[in-house]
Chains A and B, each alone.
Chain A
């Protein structure tokens, strides 16, 4: 680790001000950022810890029924308190291990947009809105490829707003070593249609499987899930070929549909 200064603001406004300095980075739960710092792959001069900001923590339901999760809310809290959205609570409860869940935050996960992370699938499949200190960004505009998002430098995710579907489920096939998603599929059935988002599989990061969405919107049953998508453009590595990942996309989608509640 290189040396850095740490600031612990207690309001979003103070955090934004602190992030105004050069080479400052927000620190969520540190589950991704701290290992990066330890390996000296990142060298911020200031870390702005978000964990003392009460206004971006917690789970609530707003007037139009959306579940609002503060950007600084830990996975463990979501697992426990997002009972209004069981598919999402289950997803959060299966991220990493207890230590990771008690530190890691939804804001950090969504800001990082790891191509194998779980939350991006839920955000995209739900058609959620990523709220920052300056604006609201629709999920469809937010994710822009592996580790790439619509966030500007110094922008803080203060909240993620999830419309709650009638039925949903997330199925994660774990990469054997990291236990991130080798392929994870989030299926969300709304009154006006079904959204299916896939993480872990594509070289472009999380994506919507539109063929499955169309098929499932007219017939929400596992049998309606189309044949596996093409393996072209899918990640191929030590843990599985693109073809295998593509195959798993279909399998996990079927299982998610079958499990949706």
Chain B
């Protein structure tokens, strides 16, 4: 019988009551007395030299409080990059200045040039129209290949060229080359991992507030990690010491990575609140989001796979150009390197794996982590080239994968990570069963009878989650630790507030975290609340991304709860006149082993706060414990996915008829929430595979700048729930964290894009279009039709 509470149960998400009844408190719901509004005047050119900005007329317009330009930020730090990558020549990456407001040049459409603070937003907009700009248009650098040509226009004049770094990783060149030389077959594939816009439902918002009374600042912002923002903005940009800066990220309506980063608008509102001595609010429009939220992906890759005569993988070699955009966003540099290269072994025991990545500056919006961050890019190329190899060799793509699976754990890959545990055969078998692979031929026949083509695509993936062991990432260039923290505050009557460093912006932490504590203490979940998102309330944790919340912050919470239990047992031992080593805790009762003597949870907690009968000589009163947890390794969720598509050969339109995921997330605390995470992740992956395309023209104009042209997945793009099967029954618990959990937030977005594309290629081949070996995402009807017709 499924459990009805604690770990393994699926209580409904308690936060949904407020979300669904309009009682949430989002950043835009926060209005501070006396606030002014800022409108950013943004560049409509991709690249230009700022000759002059004349604000004199605008300053006299109604309601204007003050107008800021780059000159006002000259004494202020730029937006920092949190990860320093060292390239293959031992040189550190180029790190151009990233001013809060443009200085000297504009470098992408959307680059903020000036900021008008006014009594009302409409007044600020109107005044901004009166700012006279003299900007000399420069040739735009858009294509990464052209950006790297010698003599190319430079995005940053003070750098030698547009190459941020030239990184190499994994097996050395000699060994890799030798493996390719000895190969019986080599498959080569060139592909694009399409640029995406994250599009969380809630656009970004920032409200800066300053109090002269205490010389302290508060920033309300749409962030996945308020402490990271406090540290980056306080220490690196504005020079505000942490104790004078409070960052609050209240209810946040989706992040998907794009709300990890520290953005100019946050720094601006905080800075301007003091400069204007008024709270300053900014609410992004959707149009602004398209040109100012960090974008995702945008890799151009050549991947080669070498196989021996028995189809064993010998070597993988990749050559990727990764678009950084015009500036380095907070974690941009780490995405194509350590979050991507380390995953290039996939689920396979390939002995040689070499990854080459050139990061490139262009006149486009900065690119950074987006759900999966580097791991979808790795999975896509590897699983596409394997599929292509199977086709070239005429072997079953499932059998080819199976034959090359890693089966012994722990397994040290040629790309520096050690998978602690896994069972790829189990997830593959589960996927085959749920997909009813055996029935595919009949389903294809039925589709063909309707004039449609049907394709089956399979895919395996591995990801590194639970980010991350601090000492390891420190060696790799991270400028932060990646532990997390939790404080368990038990109140006098036994209720509990858990202050966590993780941030919930849709994931459901407020439901899941109490399940864990409740299970450990044997008390009711309703007695436990999670507090998150406010640096003045929570310990210094690093926030939520990289499928880390439960694996890292949850582990800190477990450790803190263990400390609570230890102390509570001492109190109980005192109350029961027994040694604390004889005290057992079960179902919220402390009892002396082997006796019927017991004392309830609430009596112990009350004793802690009313210590009349209490071992004050041994322990302090109160019951509150904090733990910081730094993971020993990444976690390695893995899975096998499959989907079936129907393809209309007349129009090229692809519909997904069935999708199956068989994931291994280790232990699962709340199955319903895990399934929701995977459903959502796959939907985003389907979006990337079939619909989403952030496109620029050759002048650096954003072509897909609104929902009129940027296609988001909608409910009817996703298979009906009955044909949308997400399974997590294969569980190899993580070996190094106390809950044995691996993380489930990104899996769907990582595993699904190659699954879909593999299915489309399969469908086309079944229809005789055997010349089509690959179609770049999004696999839109027009691209399918063009590929079919050799256009």
Contacts and interface: CB of A to CB of B under 8 A. Distances in A.
B125 A239 contact: no
Given A39-B287, A40-B125, A238-B693, A243 B791 contact: yes
Q: Which of B125, B653, B691, B711 has the most CB of A within 10 A?
A: B711
A239 B785 CA distance: 12
B714 to A, nearest CB: 9
Nearest to A248: B651
Contacts of B786: 241, 244
A177 interface: yes
A255 B711 CA distance: 25
Contact of B781 (A3, A176, A237, A243): A176
Nearest to B782: A240
Given A1-B122, A176-B781, A238 B651 contact: no
Interface string B397-429: 000000000000000000000000000000000
A247 interface: yes
A251 interface: yes
B711 A177 contact: yes
A173 interface: yes
B703 interface: yes
B710 interface: yes
Contacts of B778: 176
A176 B711 contact: yes
A178 interface: yes
Contacts of B125: 40
B708 interface: yes
B651 A177 contact: no
B582 interface: no
Interface in B101-136: 122, 125-126
Contacts of B651: 173, 248, 251
A174 B125 CA distance: 35
A182 B708 CA distance: 12
A176 B780 contact: yes
A36 B310 CA distance: 63
A244 B785 contact: yes
A77 to B, nearest CB: 24
Contacts of A243: 791
A177 B708 contact: yes
B195 to A, nearest CB: 13
B785 A178 contact: no
Interface string A226-244: 0000000000011111011
B650 interface: yes
Interface in A32-59: 39-40
Nearest to B125: A40
A88 to B, nearest CB: 23
A177 B695 contact: no
B781 A240 contact: yes
Interface of B is mostly: loop
Interface residues of B, number: 26
Contact of B710 (A177, A240, A248): A177
B709 interface: yes
A178 B712 CA distance: 10
B19 interface: no
A188 B710 CA distance: 33
Contacts of A237: 703
Contacts of A251: 650-651
B440 interface: no
B707 A239 contact: no
Contacts of A178: 707-709
A239 B780 contact: yes
Contacts of B695: 238
A53 to B, nearest CB: 30
Nearest to A1: B122
Given A39-B287, A40-B125, A176-B691, A239 B708 contact: no
Interface string B765-791: 000000000000010111001100001
B130 to A, nearest CB: 13
Q: Which of B690, B707, B782 has the most CB of A within 10 A?
A: B782
B791 A238 contact: no
Interface string A48-72: 0000000000000000000000000
Contact of A241 (B691, B703, B782): B782
B86 interface: no
Interface in A210-259: 237-241, 243-244, 247-248, 251
A46 B125 CA distance: 20
B694 to A, nearest CB: 10
Contacts of A241: 782, 786, 791
Interface in A153-204: 173, 176-178, 182
Contacts of B287: 39
Contacts of A177: 691, 704, 707-712
A241 B787 CA distance: 13
A243 B782 CA distance: 10
Interface in B668-710: 690-691, 693, 695, 703-704, 707-710
Interface in B32-80: none
Contacts of A2: 122, 126
Contacts of A3: 122
Interface in B738-769: none
Nearest to B653: A173
A239 B782 contact: yes
A220 to B, nearest CB: 20
A173 B784 CA distance: 15
Nearest to B785: A244
Interface in A15-45: 39-40
Contacts of B704: 177, 238
B364 to A, nearest CB: 16
A201 to B, nearest CB: 13
A17 B240 CA distance: 61
A69 B125 CA distance: 40
B780 A247 contact: no
A240 B781 CA distance: 8
A247 B708 contact: no
Q: Which of B122, B704, B709 has the most CB of A within 10 A?
A: B709
B251 to A, nearest CB: 24
B285 to A, nearest CB: 8
A177 B197 CA distance: 13
Contacts of B780: 176, 239-240
Interface in B255-294: 287
Contacts of A248: 651
A3 B695 CA distance: 34
A22 to B, nearest CB: 20
B513 to A, nearest CB: 37
B746 to A, nearest CB: 25
Contacts of A238: 693, 695, 703-704, 709
Nearest to B695: A238
A240 B791 CA distance: 12
A235 to B, nearest CB: 12
A44 B524 CA distance: 61
B705 to A, nearest CB: 11
Top 5 A-B pairs, shortest CB-CB distance:
A240-B782, A177-B711, A176-B711, A178-B708, A244-B782
Given A176-B691, A177-B708, A178-B707, 18 more contacts: A1-B122, A2-B122, A2-B126, A176-B711, A176-B781, A177-B704, A177-B709, A177-B710, A238-B695, A238-B704, A240-B780, A240-B782, A240-B785, A241-B786, A243-B791, A244-B782, A248-B651, A251-B650
17 contacts: A1-B122, A40-B125, A173-B653, A176-B691, A176-B780, A177-B691, A177-B708, A177-B709, A177-B710, A178-B709, A182-B781, A238-B693, A238-B703, A238-B709, A239-B782, A241-B786, A244-B786
Interface of B: 122, 125-126, 287, 650-651, 653, 690-691, 693, 695, 703-704, 707-712, 778, 780-782, 785-786, 791
